[in-house]
């Protein structure tokens, strides 16, 4: 990890499902990109590109995860996808704010939203489905 990065990717982030782990690592890279920009004082110049990348990540990862959960009849699929919906709505609100006022505070808010997602969804909800999916043969 370089000194400006926020998160050092390590085994505590691993679900044991390599495709999911690679996608989660991409999220950590997005968070670290934002953190590096903030460490230089102003992340506003990268926010547009970061939001575009984040939207692509959300669409791809959430569709992939929904497919896995639904195809394997994960019992908490509806609740899990509702969390995705709430996160997506939060990102949409941040993007709307970016179009109105791309402030340094918005960059901080975005980082907080992404960190909250990493800690409270990825490390909780995603880790909850991992044993179920692995028992279904997902690897």
Position 7 in a domain:
no
Q: pLDDT tens digits, residue range 64-123?
A: 999 999 999 999 999 999 999 999 999 999 999 999 988 889 999 999 999 999 999 999
Residue 26's domain is classified under what CATH number? 1.20.120.50
On average, the pLDDT of the chain sits at 93
Average pLDDT of 42-54?
Answer: 92
- 76 lies in a domain? yes
Residue 21 belongs to what domain range? 16-135
* 74: exposed, middle or buried (Cβ count in 10 Å: 0-12, 13-18, 19+): buried
Residue 96 in domain: yes
Tallying the residues shown for the chain, one arrives at 139
d(CA 74, CA 136): 10
In a domain, 5, yes or no: no
**Within-domain flag for 57:** yes
> What span, in angstroms and rounded, lies between the C-alpha atoms of 114 and 31?
7
pLDDT score at 1: 47
Across 36-48, b (16+ Cβ under 10 Å) vs e yields: bbbeeeebeebbe
Could you give the number of structural domains in the chain? 1
Q: Is residue 90 part of a domain?
A: yes
Query: Within a domain: residue 6?
Result: no
pTM: 0.92
- Tell me the pLDDT band of 4, cut-offs 50, 70 and 90: low
As a whole number, mean pLDDT of residues 2-26 equals 89
Cβ atoms of 46 and 37 closer than 8 Å:
yes
């Amino acid at each position: 990890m370089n000194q400006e990065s926020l998160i050092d990717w390590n085994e505590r982030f691993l679900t044991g499902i390599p495709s999911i782990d690679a996608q989660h690592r991409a999220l950590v890279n997005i968070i670290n990109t934002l953190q590096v920009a903030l460490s230089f004082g102003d992340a506003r110049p990268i926010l547009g590109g970061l939001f575009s990348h984040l939207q692509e990540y959300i669409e791809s990862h959430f569709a992939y995860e929904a497919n896995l959960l639904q195809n394997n009849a994960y019992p908490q699929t509806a609740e899990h996808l509702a969390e995705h919906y709430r996160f997506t709505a939060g990102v949409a609100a941040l993007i709307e704010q970016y179009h109105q006022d791309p402030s340094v505070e918005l960059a901080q808010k975005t980082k907080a939203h992404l960190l909250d997602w990493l800690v409270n969804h990825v490390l909780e909800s995603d880790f909850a489905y991992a044993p179920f999916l692995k028992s279904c043969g997902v690897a």
